[in-house]
Amino acid sequence: MAELDIYQFPCLSDNFGVLIHDPVNNLTASIDAPETAAVKKALSDKGWQLTHILTTHYHADHTDGNLDLKSEFNCTIVGPNAEGDKVPGIDVRVADGDSYQFGAFEAKVFDTPGHTAGHISYWLPEAEVAFVGDTLFALGCGRLFEGDAQTMWSSLSKLRALPASTQVYCGHEYTLSNAEFALTIEPGNTALQNRVEEIRQLRNADKPTLPTTIGLECETNPFLRPQSPEIQERLGMQGKSDAEIFGEIRQRKDNA
Ligand code: ZN
Ligand code: FE
């Protein structure tokens, strides 16, 4: 099986940049482009030439580098069809069910609206990796700027259905504050307790807590766990729908 090289680096105040590199075809994509200088430094650190940008959503902290990088590298910008007009320099518009061939790797596209109305995620099954932008975070999920709880729950359900071993790269390092909140929602979850301990150690050592995996999120992320009896009982929401319970958790986090 072909191998995909992945390089994650922090940028802006709490964003992650990610480069993916297909060594056989000598292609390199930036997952979003939060900041031109940081992406260029990462490229030169790795000795890679930028050929693609894979955009998850139009927000400035994910697209600010698009035009500068495109003029310097003449890279192809792939992005969400539903908000393509807001993605600077977009060349290829993709939507749910589409595949984009990145060298040896097929990137399957999911519409994952909620944070923005046109947000998409990319899943590369051969590499067992997903790039989810600001839809899913480690122990959290994106804010609902352009969608309701039902919309976001449907998006998260698509990601939750990916293989448990899937490595998940997210747009931000929000994990520590997410962890503190998660403990208020499901304090009796021992997998969560253990994970929070690891997260505190990583952050104390100034290390990233990403990537995560679908399996770990399913076990510990309260936003993916409306079926947990402990959560339902704490919220007093036994018998409510998954989307309703998810919505309540999202609202509590917004007010936390
Ligand atoms: Zn965003
Ligand atoms: Fe963001």
One domain for residues 70 and 90: yes
Residue at 87 is within a domain: yes
* Strand 76-80 with 52-54, pairing: parallel
One domain for residues 83 and 14: yes
Report CA(199)–ligand 1 centroid distance (Å). 23
One domain for residues 154 and 242: no
Amino acid 22: pLDDT: 98
To the query of whether residue 119 is one of the catalytic residues in this protein, the response is no
One domain for residues 64 and 154: yes
One domain for residues 120 and 158: yes
What is the mean pLDDT of the segment spanning 228-243?
98
The tokens for 7 are 């390089």
Q: Which residues contact 73 (CB under 8 A, 6 or more apart)?
A: 49, 50, 51
The tokens for 80 are 């969400």
Do 175 and 140 meet the contact criterion of CB atoms below 8 Å apart? Answer: yes
Per annotation, catalytic residue among 32, 62, 111, 119: 62
Per annotation, catalytic residue among 22, 32, 52, 57: 57
pLDDT for residue 208 is more than 90: yes
pLDDT for residue 2 is more than 80: no
Range of the domain at 123: 5-169
Ligand nearest to the CA of 57: 1
Report CA(236)–ligand 1 centroid distance (Å). 31
The tokens for 124 are 């590369």
Per annotation, catalytic residue among 21, 32, 52, 61: 61
**Mean pLDDT, all residues of the chain:** 97
Q: What is the pLDDT of residues 16-34, one digit of tens each?
A: 999 999 999 999 999 999 9
Do 191 and 224 meet the contact criterion of CB atoms below 8 Å apart? Answer: no
Report CA(111)–ligand 1 centroid distance (Å). 15
What is the mean pLDDT of the segment spanning 194-204?
97
pLDDT for residue 71 is more than 90: yes
Amino acid 1: pLDDT: 59
pTM attached to this predicted model: 0.98
pLDDT for residue 121 is more than 70: yes
Residue at 55 is within a domain: yes
Q: What is the pLDDT of residues 158-178, one digit of tens each?
A: 999 999 999 999 999 999 999
One domain for residues 111 and 151: yes
Count of the separate structural domains present in the chain: 2
What is the mean pLDDT of the segment spanning 227-231?
98
The tokens for 225 are 């766990």
Cβ neighbours around 60 below 10 Å, total: 10
Report CA(25)–ligand 1 centroid distance (Å). 31
One domain for residues 198 and 244: yes
One domain for residues 204 and 136: no
pLDDT for residue 191 is more than 90: yes
- What is d(CA 143, CA 115) in angstroms, rounded to the nearest whole number? 5
3-state secondary structure of 254: helix
Do 195 and 182 meet the contact criterion of CB atoms below 8 Å apart? Answer: no
Please report, as a single letter, which amino acid is at residue 144.
L
One domain for residues 155 and 34: yes
What is the mean pLDDT of the segment spanning 120-149?
98
To the query of whether residue 59 is one of the catalytic residues in this protein, the response is yes
To the query of whether residue 21 is one of the catalytic residues in this protein, the response is no
3-state secondary structure of 157: helix
Q: Which residues contact 236 (CB under 8 A, 6 or more apart)?
A: none
One domain for residues 165 and 92: yes
